[in-house]
Amino acid sequence: MLGKLIKHEFKATYQLFLAIYLIAFASIPFAIFSLSQYEGGAFIGFFKGFSLFAFIILLIGVNIASTIICIYRFYTHVLGAESYLTNTLPVKPFHLITSKALVSGFWSLCGNIVSIICGYVVLKFSMPHIINEAKTALHELYKMLSYDTYFHLENGTKLITRGSILTTLMVLLTACILSIILSLVSTPVLYYCSMVVGQYISPKHKVVSAIITYFVINFAMNIISSVASSILIISSSFRTDPYIYADEVLTLVAMLRTITYRYMPFALVFSIAVFIGTFFVTNHLLDKRLNLE
Amino acid sequence: MDFTENLFNNNLLECNKLTKIFGGTTALNDLSLTFERGRIIGLLGPNGSGKTTFIKLINGLLVPTRGSITINGYLPGVETKKVISYLPDKMILNNWMKVNDLVSFYKDFYEDFKEERAYDMLKDLDIAPNARLKSLSKGTKEKVQLIMVMSRDAELYCLDEPIGGVDPAARDYILNTIIQNYNHKSSILLSTHLIADVENILDDAIFLKYGTVTRYAPVDQIREESGMSLDELFREEFKC
């Protein structure tokens, strides 16, 4: 049944998203023109400004469209007008939530990719020097990391090898990618959880209740996350070790290691815990406490 | 209850002291009744008597405050949704869909859905399969919704006001369709205000008042005991 739910979710959304992406791609020539050196009269100036503004709005729109549609579809299908059909299908709520979260995550990913492609193409054609500078900077960074570096300190010599920094960077990159993949599906589930809890608390004012629930969950998450990250950073060696603290590069490297090996594991585990928690609450309420008044 | 027990048990639905309270309002109060297979049951009562609440509880759209409800021995859930075909009292369809999209949607999710029967009924009611739902009138959408529900070989049909919004000619067609689906395996629970229109097809009638069952008996018995038609009795009992 999960496959069928995913199929119908795609069928219901693909036309809208393809239209949004096509509009974004179609706006590229206008954005390139707006950043060109060509100077015309007042009208051309206005047109260039307007095109650039519209392009930026479109890129933002491409990214937030999946969020808006994700919220709208869950609300109308599971709690709103069409919920009578959705909730009488012979499917488990677990499958329903999974299908909607996966499809929403897929469109979020597509939205991000489309934005990056659009931005890259516009920069490539209108400001190629920015792309070249970025490439050079990356190349320089790689070169810098290709040599072993020695630091002579009062308590002896500290050696930072190319391998250890590259490994740290690769671990950090992997953790970031995992975090992004997780957020693609955990973010919609957080919205679903807020809506379902909102409906459970106050069926007559479910929208207001859902918004309040969302902010309460977010506030609690931010508090926990801030406290935990503060503790991790304060207790880190680059803050407490006077030899490391005295040197800028060593501090930077130690900070990188703290983020990679202490903060990122916490952030990932915390995100997974929030995802499991919100999924469980949503599933439980839809399965055992549904009240469509 | 296991499968063999279900097979020989003629009770399709059982309610035991079923109660639903919304805030401080009791919508259903201590409802205890059973439905047998092969019956067309009228669920009759004035507005606010608890008809829709009862149907929603059967379909798992509401959770009882107290008591229990089982269909084929199962609490409302995936197993019961496989055998219940539900027509709500409001529009529930996705407007962006075409009628044939809806047919394939039902076919995908319900094993007992009969595609051919759906297309036959669409043809009979002159509804184009490739029409978009948003382009159809309210009455036609209601017909489409009913066609989807009646194209299933379900064990229990829950029809909440199935003829309220359609013209008299379509009403006759719909009632005939309901009768055609009547068989020894399935039962139909039909909630309506238009008692005179449905009286002749009902086997049993449930009178609901303020969430309580005031009568539940075969229609012939009710007529015999009261000396009135069901419609006359309803008007008498629920006089404002």
Which chain B residue's Cα is nearest to A1? B109
On the CB side of A97, how many CA atoms lie within 13 Å of its CA? 26
**pLDDT of A255 above 90:** no
Q: Could you tell me if A91 lies within 8 Å of chain B, comparing CB atoms?
A: yes
Q: Which tokens sit at B46?
A: 């004035």
- Same domain membership, residue A214 and residue A155: yes
Domain presence at residue A215: yes
Return all residues near A111 (Cβ < 8 A) that are at least 6 apart: A17, A62, A63, A65, A66
- Name the residue range of residue A104's domain: 1-133
Is the Cβ–Cβ distance between B39 and A67 less than 8 Å? no
Residues A150 and A128 in one domain: no
Chain A: closest CA distance from residue B169 (Å):
27
| Lowest-pLDDT choice from A87-101, A183-197, A237-251, A258-272 | A237-251
Per-residue pLDDT for A4 more than 60?
Answer: yes
Residue B1: predicted pLDDT: 45
Q: Tell me which of A257 and B166 has the higher pLDDT.
A: A257
Q: In terms of domains, do A194 and A226 share one?
A: yes
Shortest distance, CA A293 to any CA of chain B (angstroms) = 7
Q: Are both A90 and A189 inside the same structural domain?
A: no
pLDDT in tens, B137-157: 888 888 898 899 989 999 999
A7 touches chain B (CB under 8 A): yes
* Residue A110 is assigned to a structural domain of this protein: yes
**A94 found inside a domain:** yes
* A250 band by pLDDT with thresholds 50, 70 and 90: low
Q: Is B88 helix (H, G, I), strand (E, B) or coil?
A: coil
**The pLDDT of residue A1:** 84
> Using CB atoms, which residue from B22, B84, B92 is nearest to A82?
B92
* A247 domain residue, yes or no: yes
CB contact under 8 A, A288 and B78: no
Return the residue of A nearest to B95 by Cα.
A82
pLDDT of B61? 92
Type of residue found at A217: I
Interface touch A84/B61, C-beta < 8 Å: yes
Do residues A50 and A183 share a domain? no
For chains A and B, CB pairs below 8 A equal: 59
Whether A3 has its CB under 8 Å from any CB of chain B: the answer is: no
Among A113, A133, A153, the domain boundary falls at A133
Confidence bin at A263 (pLDDT 50/70/90) = confident
- For residue A236, the model assigns a pLDDT of 66
The CA–CA distances, whole Å, from A220 to A4, A213, A224, B131 equal 36, 11, 6, 49
Same domain, A74 and A116: yes
In chain B, what residues touch A293 (CB-CB under 8 Å)? 22, 62
For the segment A101-136, what is each residue's pLDDT rounded down to a tens digit? 999 999 999 999 999 999 899 888 888 888 888 889
Which pLDDT tens digit goes with each residue over A13-61?
A: 999 999 999 998 998 888 888 877 767 777 777 787 888 888 888 888 8
Co-location of A118 and A150 in the same domain: no
Check residue A279 and give its pLDDT.
96
**Helix, strand or coil, per DSSP, at residue B13:** strand
Q: Which of A112, A133, A154 is the last residue before a domain boundary?
A: A133
Interface test with B, best of A72, A85, A94, A200 (most B CBs within 10 A): A85
Classify residue A156: in a domain, yes or no. Answer: yes
Is the same domain home to A157 and A115? no
Q: Which of B79, B81, B101 sits opposite A89 (nearest CB)?
A: B81
Contacts of B81 in chain A (CB under 8 A): 88-90
| Chain B residues with CB-CB distance to A87 below 8 A | 59-61
Question: pLDDT at position A158, please?
Answer: 64
Nearest beta carbon to residue B22 from set A11, A12, A293: A293
Q: Are residues A40 and A81 in the same domain?
A: yes
| Domain tally, chain A | 2
This prediction's pTM: 0.86
Q: What is the DSSP string of A21-59?
A: HHHHHHTHHHHHHHTSS----HHHHHHHHHHHHHHHHHH
β-strands A149-153, A156-160 pairing: antiparallel
Query: How far apart, in whole angstroms, are the C-alpha atoms of residue B187 and residue A87?
Result: 21
Considering the domain architecture, whether residues A57 and A151 belong to the same structural domain is answered as: no
Q: In terms of domains, do A51 and A176 share one?
A: no
- DSSP secondary structure string for all residues of A133-202: HHHHHHHHHHHHHTS-EEEEETTEEEEE-HHHHHHHHHHHHHHHHHHHHHHHHHHHHHHHHHHHHHHHH-
Is A92–B78 a contact, with Cβ atoms under 8 angstroms apart?
yes
**CA–CA distance, B218 with A230 (Å, rounded to integer):** 73
Do B63 and A11 lie within an 8 Å CB cutoff?
no
> Considering the domain boundaries, does residue A19 fall inside one?
yes
């009913």: which residue's tokens?
B146
Mean pLDDT by 10 residues, chain B (240 residues): 51 92 88 90 90 94 93 92 91 85 93 92 90 88 89 91 75 78 81 84 90 91 89 83
B41: part of which helix (H) or strand (E)? strand B40-44
Last residue in a domain, options A67, A101, A133: A133
- Long-range residue pairs from A52-61, CB within 8 A, at least 24 positions apart, any chain: A54/A27, A54/A30, A55/A27, A55/A28, A55/A30, A55/A31, A55/A118, A55/A122, A58/A23, A58/A24, A58/A27, A58/A118, A59/A24, A59/A115, A59/A118, A59/A119, A61/A20, A61/A24
B209 Cα distance to chain centroid: 18
Q: How far apart are CA A211 and CA A219, in angstroms?
A: 12
Q: Is residue A139 part of a domain?
A: no
Cα-flanking dihedrals φ and ψ of residue B17, to 5°?
Answer: 50, 45
Would you state the pLDDT for residue B182?
67
Domain assignment of residue A138, yes or no? no
Q: Are residues A164 and A235 in the same domain?
A: yes
Q: Is B74 helix (H, G, I), strand (E, B) or coil?
A: strand
Interface touch B109/A4, C-beta < 8 Å: yes
Q: Which residues of A touch B91 (CB under 8 A)?
A: 81
CA dihedral of residues B102, B108, B109, B112 (deg, nearest 10) = 100
Q: What residue in B sits closest to A201 (Cα-Cα)?
A: B23
The reply to whether B101 touches chain A by the CB within 8 Å rule is yes
**Residues of chain A with C-beta less than 8 angstroms from the C-beta of B88:** 84
pLDDT for residue B4: 46
> CB distance B101–A4 less than 8 Å?
no
Q: Do A90 and B56 touch (CB under 8 A)?
A: no
- Return all residues near A65 (Cβ < 8 A) that are at least 6 apart: A16, A17, A20, A107, A111
Strand ranges across the sheet with B66-71: B25-36, B11-22, B66-71
Q: Structure tokens of B100?
A: 């044939």
